[in-house]
Structure 1
Amino acid sequence: MHALIAESFDYLQAQQDSFMATYRIGEHKRWDWYQETGQLIFSNDGKPAVECAVDFVGTFSSHSDTWMWAWANESFLELVKARSRAVRELGESLDFLKLACATWSADPVDGWEMTAVMARQLGAIGSYRAPSERGFLYMVVREARWVS
């Protein structure tokens, strides 16, 4: 399973470098995500700059030190969590419990590892981690475009 994670990390790193540079992700003043549309929007001074189509991977809770897959999270809409089931199926086929179990003891690095596996599985072009008061939400980016 270490090879799967290592290969997935290599895949995501290459994609992420291109995504960050192409869309200047670190330079925008604000970001917002919307479950209802499955979008992550980067904006400046109230004007959208980059629009991304995203899938939620899962969440890391800093209160309980646990990971929860998006497919298991009842507060997420089907639109943003449906594709995470592909990773669950992969985990079941490989007998890799971290991919197949809904929740488990984790740290933020585990979140990035699971994000990398899902990114590679779905052919994502990048990823994003959004902080919350209880931890982090991890997502993969399927496509992105500049908003003119």
Structure 2
Amino acid sequence: MGHGEQAAHDHELWESLVSAARDRVGQRHAAMVSDHGLSGDVQYHWSMDDATISWSRDGRDSLHGRITMIGSVDHVQQTWLWSWANDSLPPAVLGDITDVRRYGEERSFPLLMSPSFRAEQKPVAQARIVAADVLAAEGLWFEPGDELDLHFAIHDLRRV
């Protein structure tokens, strides 16, 4: 069997994995948003130092959760950087992100193993979805910025 066939097979495996992960994460994320009313004009605050996120309505906290930074997109460089490859992050916000890298290494999925890659829409979406699935996250959170977009997984939601 030639090298090309092996790569094609791996690609198929990756695509089916992403598809299954998208279904699972999509359902959990939709449930998170509807169960906790996270659409509309809800205020939120997050902290990387202690890896927390909280939502409030009318100035009162209503929901707390834990965040894992998955990665960031640099608008200038046009690159995705995995949080496990980012030395500037507080340890708390890394959570179990190395499990995602290990998952990629065990299955030879380059996207999960390389510290960064070109931030095109498809690979970024795939990286987020698979990371959220491996981490069994309740949902995903996206924080757009002028220079950096931040991508978080959300865990351990509890009403206050």
Query: TM-score, length-normalised on structure 1?
Result: 0.91
Tell me the distance in 1 between the aligned counterparts of 2:122 and 2:74: 12
1:83 match: secondary structure:
coil
Deviation at 1:4, TM superposition (A): 1.4
The aligned counterpart of 1:23 is 36
Amino acid at match of 2:149: F
The aligned counterpart of 1:60 is 73
In the alignment, does 2:103 pair up with 1:93? no
In the alignment, does 2:92 pair up with 1:79? yes
1:41 match: secondary structure:
strand
Query: TM-score, length-normalised on structure 2?
Result: 0.85
Count of aligned residue pairs for this structure pair: 147
The aligned runs of 1:1-148 (5 Å cut-off) are: 1-147=14-160
Amino acid at match of 2:77: S
Post-superposition, which runs of at least 4 consecutive aligned residues in structure 1 deviate over 3 A?
none
Amino acid at match of 1:21: S
CA RMSD of aligned residues (A): 1.5
Tell me the distance in 1 between the aligned counterparts of 2:124 and 2:45: 20
Q: Percent identity?
A: 21
Larger CA Rg, structure 1 vs 2: 2
Moved more, 103-112 or 68-77: 103-112
Structure 1: runs of 5 or more not aligned: none
Structure 2: runs of 5 or more not aligned: 1-13
Question: Are the equivalent residues in 2 in contact too, given 1:31–1:40 (CA < 8 A)?
Answer: yes
Change in 2 beyond 3 A, CA 1:75/1:45 = farther
The aligned counterpart of 2:7 is none
Tell me the distance in 1 between the aligned counterparts of 2:124 and 2:141: 11
Question: Are the equivalent residues in 2 in contact too, given 1:11–1:116 (CA < 8 A)?
Answer: no
CA deviation vs aligned residue, 1:49-86 (integer Å, no higher than 9, x gap) = 21111111001122211110011111211111141111
Change in 2 beyond 3 A, CA 1:145/1:69 = same
Question: Are the equivalent residues in 2 in contact too, given 1:111–1:138 (CA < 8 A)?
Answer: no
Tell me the distance in 2 between the aligned counterparts of 1:27 and 1:14: 19
